[in-house]
Amino acid sequence: MNITTAQKTKTGIFVFISLLLLIGLIFLIGKQKNLFRSTFLVYADFKNIAGIKEGNYVRFAGINIGSVETITIVNDTTVQLALNIDEKIRKYIKTNAVASVGSDGLMGDKLVLIAPGKEGFAVVKNGERLLSANPLNVDKVMNNLAKIADNATTLTNGLADIVNKINEGKGSLGRLMNNDNLARKMENTIATANQTAASINVTSKTANEDMQAIKGSFLLRGYFKKKEKKRIKDSTERANKLIRSEKQKKEDVKKEDVKKEDRKKEDAKKDN
């Protein structure tokens, strides 16, 4: 079977387009993997990498700067990630930069996030280890949320039972809210208590007035005057006692100062 020129042309175009697509695909993958750019490696240790895989992006300040080169289990508590990063970004990554595990959006792929370090620290070197922040344990959070939900359900059911009992008139509160006679008795009791308190206030006021009248009485006036003189005398004695005590303290201080001066003079004489 002879192949026509048109068929050869179509085949050549198809092969050419396929090669272009293949070259474009290789270029795209190489760009993502930093195959055509100068790169350097840094390491970060984690207790849990939360689904990170080899080839996942490394992001710095919201920009993809590299990818996860390898994942190595160091021991039973540590996993080490080797991060292949574009050499052009090295000057922005300090030795105190912190690597953490994040996600691309709410439900996106996992990636490694590098938070910029503070100024004044040296630029990270090839093969150095970055500080790391372990990701949140999602399973633990979900378990805690499940416990909270169970407790909320139990609390809601308990409140519903209490409300039902109150509506049915069970318990003291239920009887109070559903029994009009009991409520009226409670109102009468409160009113009686208010009246009793008012009577006590009136009695107290009357007793105070009686005491003032007694103090002004001719027969008892002498008694209250003696009591007032005694109170003034006691106050005066306490004040005089306090003054004497202060004077004594000052005299003791002066005597102590004199003794110190005498000792200094004696020490000076001995030195001479």
Summarize pLDDT for 33-48 with one digit per residue, the tens.
555 568 889 999 998 8
Residue 15 domain-assigned? no
Residues contacting residue 138 through CB under 8 Å, at least 6 positions apart: 50
**For the segment 55-105, what is each residue's pLDDT rounded down to a tens digit?**
889 999 888 888 899 999 989 889 999 999 988 988 888 888 999 988 877
* pLDDT for the residue 51: 82
- State which of 109, 136, 163 marks the end of a domain: 136
Distance between CA 140 and CA 125 in Å, rounded? 36
Give the residue numbers spanning the domain of 131: 37-136
Rounded to a whole number of angstroms, the CA Rg of the chain reads: 47
The separation between CA 211 and the C-alpha centre of its own chain, rounded to angstroms, equals 61
| Run of H or E residues at 23 | helix 5-32
Residue 156 domain-assigned? no
* pLDDT for the residue 84: 92
- State which of 136, 165, 184 marks the end of a domain: 136
Residue 55 domain-assigned? yes
| Type of residue at 23 | I
Residue 198 corresponds to which tokens in the numbers above? 């008012």
* pLDDT for the residue 203: 66
* pLDDT for the residue 41: 92
Residues contacting residue 51 through CB under 8 Å, at least 6 positions apart: 110
**Buried/exposed code over 129-149 (b: 16+ C-beta within 10 A; e: otherwise):** ebebeebeeeeeeeeeeeeee
Residue 125 domain-assigned? yes
Residue 107 corresponds to which tokens in the numbers above? 């439900």
Residue 130 domain-assigned? yes
Residue 160 domain-assigned? no
Distance between CA 110 and CA 57 in Å, rounded? 8
Residue 76 domain-assigned? yes
Pick from 125, 69, 68: nearest CA to 93: 125
78-86 and 98-103 as β-strands: parallel, antiparallel, unpaired? unpaired
Residue 7 domain-assigned? no
> 124 with 130: CB under 8 angstroms?
yes
Pick from 2, 94, 101: nearest CA to 42: 94
Distance between CA 85 and CA 123 in Å, rounded? 14
- Residue ranges of the chain with per-residue pLDDT less than 50: none
- State which of 96, 119, 136 marks the end of a domain: 136
| Type of residue at 185 | K
> Which DSSP state fits 135?
P
Distance between CA 23 and CA 30 in Å, rounded? 10
Q: What is the DSSP string of 199-254?
A: HHHHHHHHHHHHHHHHHT-TTTHHHHHHHHHHHHHHHHHHHHHHHHHHHHHHHHHH
Distance between CA 130 and CA 145 in Å, rounded? 33
When divided into structural domains, the chain yields a total of 2
* pLDDT for the residue 160: 75
Residue 52 corresponds to which tokens in the numbers above? 């990170």
| Run of H or E residues at 67 | strand 63-75
* pLDDT for the residue 17: 86
Distance between CA 172 and CA 151 in Å, rounded? 27
* pLDDT for the residue 25: 77
